[in-house]
Amino acid sequence: MTELRSEKSIIDQAEENLLHVYNRYQAVLDHGEGVYLYDVNGKKYLDFYAGIAVSALGYHYPGFDEAVKAQVDKLLHTSNYYYNEPAAEAAEKICKVSGMTRVFFTNSGTEAVEGAIKIARRYGFNKDGQHDHEIIAMRHSFHGRSMGALSVTGNDHYQEPFLPMIGNIRFADFNDLDSVKALVNDRTVAIIMESFQGEGGIYPATKEFAQGVRKLCDDNDLLLILDEIQCGMGRTGTMFYYQQLGIQPDVVTIAKALGCGLPVGAFAVSDRAATLVPGDHGTTYGGNPLVCAAACKVFDIFEQDHILENVNEVGAYLYDRLEEVAARHKDVVIDHRGKGLMQGIELNVSAGAAVAKALDHGLILISAGANIIRFIPPLVIKKEHVDEMIPILDQILTEIK
């Protein structure tokens, strides 16, 4: 028999051997079922963070594990010098739901952003053979922590220890079209932004702003790159949030729920943005049969089990219940905003303290910035799970006053 290890021994081992770049909560998660997680001591947690919006189907969703296991028994890896059926099918499904025409698979969202940046630079180089083109990004954005993705992340705190960033990135204010227009010049080649800022505070782009940026790109021959790594794959009630904004990007980055726990991301492009040629870009693991089989099954489940309909129904219910919470706790809640199953409440105290207390009460939450509690549960939660969460939230908001 396998010896049962104590929670403390596992934490001690991790602290000794893992690079300390996360301030982890003192829980060792062991397994999940439905929308619940369990630690090594058997304590049950209601999951309202889904592994940072990754586990969109919760845990052991019917049919998903079986699809992954079936692929394990067939083939895990081939490299991209050969074709494999799951990658071909997953790319077709992404094109169908996104309105794009070509897909490149990555291992993560950050890598998808790196690819999108290369798309933009190649687009500019193809026009005039020069290397001085500029990309406009947004303040308070978050696109990842590798050097390229970090360079278009509008947060000095993340960038400062790693300066200099890659050059020719200029920052505008999200939802302020005039600030974007002021930066466009004859060297601008692309605008990159989240359709719905997550880490930056749960701020959706307004339709007026998004359509204005799209027109700005059209009028100046710029690429519009939309980061839908967190808000995409159904989280706001449509497969991608830009579909609610009435626009179509030239490049969209996707990850998180695409694999529902397996490491897969992608960037999808329109014909005009399909600038990369053989030798320009690559990945050893990206698009391997295992992760693409998972992605294919995710799309099948979304369609067959009407996941988007559930997001719209339960998301509206969550919004109403959080409005009630905000009204009851006006002394600590500044604002409530969001859409679908991507919502947040802004506090006048530390959100970290609230998240820690929630864990004590069997609820897993996540913060966005210093003072916002983010609600990004599995997309399969029901109203009963919202009703289970609300009393715990009431309690912790009372405790942190």
- pLDDT at position 13 over 60: yes
Inter-CA distances, 107 with 183, 256, 295, Å? 32, 10, 12
For residue 253, pLDDT beyond 50? yes
For residue 369, the model assigns a pLDDT of 86
Spatial CA neighbour of 234 closest among 89, 379, 51, 61: 379
State pLDDT tens for residues 156-185.
999 999 999 999 999 999 999 999 999 999
Q: Give the pLDDT confidence score for residue 2 in this predicted structure.
A: 57
Q: Determine the pLDDT at residue 3.
A: 66
Strand-pair category, 223-227 with 251-254:
parallel
Q: Does residue 401 surpass a pLDDT of 90?
A: no
**Average confidence (pLDDT) over 359-366:** 97
The CATH code for residues 306-377 is: 3.90.1150.10
Cross-strand partners of 29:
39
Amino acid at 42: G
Q: Measure the CA angle with vertex 201, ends 261 and 401; round to 5°.
A: 105
Mean pLDDT, residues 51-74 taken together = 98
The H-assigned helical ranges of 176-227 are: 177-181, 207-220
Q: Quick check: 340 and 378 in contact, CB under 8 A?
A: no
Interval 256-262 mean pLDDT: 98
DSSP 229-279: TTTTTTTTSSSSTHHHHT---SEEEE-GGGTBTB--EEEEE-GGG----TT
Query: Does residue 370 or residue 220 have the better pLDDT?
Result: 220
Which residues form the catalytic set?
142, 227, 256
Predicted local distance difference test score (pLDDT) of residue 322 = 98
**Mean of the per-residue pLDDT values of the chain:** 97
Let me know if 132 is exposed, middle or buried by CB neighbors in 10 A (0-12, 13-18, 19+): exposed
Q: What is the percent of the chain where pLDDT is above 70?
A: 99
- The answer, yes or no, to whether residue 290 has pLDDT greater than 80, is yes
- So what's the pLDDT on residue 240? 98
Question: What are the tens digits of pLDDT across the range 181-220?
Answer: 999 999 999 999 999 999 999 999 999 999 999 999 999 9
Residue in the block written with tokens 């505070």: 201
Contact 95, 325 (CB under 8 A): no
At residue 1 the predicted structure's pLDDT band, cuts being 50, 70 and 90, is very low
pTM of model > 0.85:
yes
Q: What are the extents of the domains in the chain? A: 64-304, 306-377
* Confidence at 4, pLDDT banded by 50, 70, 90: confident
pLDDT digits (tens, 9 = 90+) for 101-156: 999 999 999 999 999 999 999 999 999 999 999 999 999 999 999 999 999 999 99
- CATH fold of 64-304: Aspartate Aminotransferase; domain 2 (3.40.640)
- Would you list the DSSP string of 299-318? HHHHHHTTHHHHHHHHHHHH
